[in-house]
Chains A and B, each alone.
Chain A
Amino acid sequence: MKTAVLLSTSRHPVSGRPALARLESQAIGLATRLGGEIVGIHAGERTDATREALGVGLTSVECLEMPADADPVPALIERLQAEKFDLVLAGRRGQGGLDTGLVPYLIAKALDRPIIADAAAIEAGSEAGTIRVDQALKKGARRRITVRLPAIVTVHSLAPAPAVFAYGASRRGEIRSLAVAEHAQDAATWAERPYRNRPRLMRTAGVATGDASEKLHVQPDPQEAAKLILDYLERNGIRSF
């Protein structure tokens, strides 16, 4: 099986220096667990972050060289069309760039491949040419989807923690630079301005329903108290026993 892991131009959330996005290092971990041939693909400038990917499990990274502010999608599509990858892994969002999370979806559309979002685990399926993806849902739930390859999967932060960075491996690994054709740039959809802090709305307590007499019970019988608690849980749709 041939897997490509997409490595974006990402920055460390605190220092702002180029760094490998955590989700992408988790994606490398998932790919390593699956086995087979794994290649990292990065569209953009070559930075220290590209080398970092070699230290957490990759042995080679292809760098599609282009200016940092160019649109990486056409180049990525071209590369993924030229070489047949069974599985393409990406982070669910970038880190420190545009962070729209649209890149994998645009690629999936262009290559006409199914895309599964928010994987917390990936295993080989029981049939050959299939994989089983555990999609992370709210409240610890998982959705297990069996999908036929080739496919694109985005990785959720609940995936296993990334491998520890190994300096020797990051020096040994190979970075190949590939030239890419120039693509016309679309005009920007949005205007830009400096960042401004916008606080979230305050979370306030939900509206407790009922009168004071309904909500306060002084010295009830323990059995009565238990019944009151269970009724309250059931009425508000928390648990029903």
Chain B
Amino acid sequence: MTAYLIRRLWQMIPTMLGVMLLVFMLFNTFAGDPAQVLAGKISNKAEIENIRKQLGVDEPYWKQMAIFAKQVVTADFGRSWSTKEPVSEIFAKRIGPSLTIMIPILVIEMFLCVALAMAVAYWRGGLTDRLVMIICTVAMSISFLAYIIAGQYFLGYRTELFPVQGWSDNLLTNLATYAPLPVLLAVLVGLGPGIRFYRSVFLDEISHDYVRTARAKGLPESTVLFKHVLRNAMIPIITNVAMSLPSLIFGAFLLEKFFSIPGLGREVINAVDKSDFPIVKAVTIYLAFATMVFNLLADVLYRVADPRVEFK
């Protein structure tokens, strides 16, 4: 186990270097001179000159890369180009609101999807199954934007069930008043693909021999589904959840933008809009790292879910 972990962590290094190279190539070579990028966005000439010096624009590429590598290793990406705030401070301030809406979304969505997919798998082949699948396909075809716009208009503006937008400093107020509508919309959007995915996982499991054996010894269908099939379907479920974890940090940036939630996603969109490269760079690097860690976590959890899995 320890040897496995060390080897996996060791294997992360080349990937991390690759991510750094990709980010460096994007922002330091393709993007061109910051003086040009920021023309019209920052009017202060001395400020731009300062930024150029920090990046080492006039230095050779290997020196620029060294500056960037130092930023990554020390996790200090300097200051935002537009607000002059240190990037690490922005990150610390924005991650809370993102998590406040993303954790409920993730938890509710996972339980709802698994439960509904179980129900659909129970009635597989019947009219309910077909109907739910068609509804899922249609629901998936409507843009996320349309859900948010319509939801905000009808549930927020017209019926006044929820506030149209807003955010406070208090976690409980946020959870009780401002988060429900974004969470509801995100869960609604996630149901379509989620049910479809888990249903196919469950149906795949149901065709296995152990299910036939369980039925042959007279177990009720619900026990077969919830005890036998669910346990065996844990691996794809873990994979799916682990894959959606990085977006937990990034947040549903569209939701944050529409509901003016001061989260990380909205920060990134604004940064892209204002060519505020330090923020985009930092978020990309941090999230790449988080993704790798979550993938490792998922692989370890496989073992917990299924003792037959061996660490290779």
A and B: interacting chains: no
Residues of A within 8 A of B (CB): none
